[in-house]
Structure 1
Amino acid sequence: MKCPYCSSLDSRVVNSRPGGDGASIRRRRECLNCARRFTTYERAQLEPLMVVKRSGEREAFNPDKLLRGLALASEKRPVDAAALRAFAYGFEDEVQIGEIPTEEIGRRAMTFLRPLDDVAYIRFASVYREFDSLERFIEEIQGLKEGGAQADKGTEPDHEAP
Structure 2
Amino acid sequence: MRPEFAPHASAPPPEARGARRRGSPAGDIALAVLVLVSDVVAVAALTFFSALSAWEEAGMFGDSSPREESPSFPDEGLLIAYGVVVALLLLTAYGFVRTGRPVTASAQILAAVAVCAVVAYGAAAAQRDAPPAPVPASSGGANGHQCHSGGDNHECRDSGG
Give the TM-score category using the shorter length.
under 0.3
RCO comparison, higher one (Cα < 8 Å, 6+):
2
TM-score (norm 2): 0.25
Q: Which has the larger radius of gyration?
A: 2
* Bigger helix share: 2
TM-score (norm 1): 0.25
